[in-house]
Chains A and B, each alone.
Chain A
Amino acid sequence: TPMQNDLQEFFALI
């Protein structure tokens, strides 16, 4: 099964 990415890797925390 492919690994699940974390959404925070794509968007900046503000």
Chain B
Amino acid sequence: MFEARLVQSAILKKVLDAIKDLLTEATFECSDSGIQVQAMDNAHVSLVSLNLRSDGFDKYRCDRNLSMGMSIACMSKILRCAGSEDTVTLRALDNPENIVFIFESPNKEKLAEYEMKLINMDQEHLGIPETSYSCIVKMPSQEFSRICRDLSQFGESITFACSKEGIKFSASGDYGQATIKLAQTADADNEEEAVSVNMQEPVKLTFSCRYLNCFIKAGPLCAQVQLSMSNDVPLVCEYKIGDIGHIRYYLAPKIDD
């Protein structure tokens, strides 16, 4: 028996919004420690790594490890049926063919159940080495979203250049060039609005706007985003999910031909 309950179904809705543009289907690995998803987009350019810890759920039970292949589009449709104040419970048997989503209104007067067929999937796991990154930048997620959207108008890719002065984002295309510089914030009174740069070595990396614009869909999950970068290795873009876990996106850099 697997059962996981979240009082705030809104968290799960936001998680689905954060992955549905990148993934069509994914395997949800459920164990005693929680729920994990690791999946690449179809083009093998980016990877989503989602971790929801069991202790972050309001109720969690997983008698045996389960790998459940799910259609992200279908799951997203189901979660759109949850009211914003509803609680959500995920439930499956030990050898499941289906997973059930149960939504309960705060006054317990409405109970909705949606059963979704599971799908058989080939497992394609990537071993991500433990890396110490040259630059770790933390910044408001809204600001990062704005920068990605704004610069996407000027080119297909955005160059991230990080130095001890701060981080510079730039894009260029047929119409010209755009650059946005962010300096480290001086006062750390408001953590949510702070920009912090932890640099060992300067980095300069170029990434596809198309993927960055998918990652920023996780913005509503967390006020801050963390960008971990080293030259010539994939970017890690991380959003915390309250006290329950995190979503990390890995994105391969572009290289000059």
Contact = CB atoms under 8 A, between A and B. Distances in A.
Interface string B103-129: 000000000000000000000111111
A1 B40 contact: no
A7 B250 contact: yes
B128 A5 contact: no
Interface in B45-73: 45-47
A8 B257 contact: no
A9 B254 CA distance: 12
B127 A2 contact: no
Interface residues of B, number: 26
Given A1-B156, A13-B125, A7 B40 contact: yes
Interface residues of A, number: 14
B234 interface: yes
Nearest to A14: B127
Contacts of A5: 45, 252-255
B157 interface: yes
Given A11-B127, A13-B125, A4 B234 contact: no
Contacts of A11: 47, 126-129, 234, 250
A2 to B, nearest CB: 4
Nearest to B173: A1
6 contacts: A1-B157, A1-B254, A2-B157, A3-B254, A8-B44, A10-B234
Interface of A: 1-14
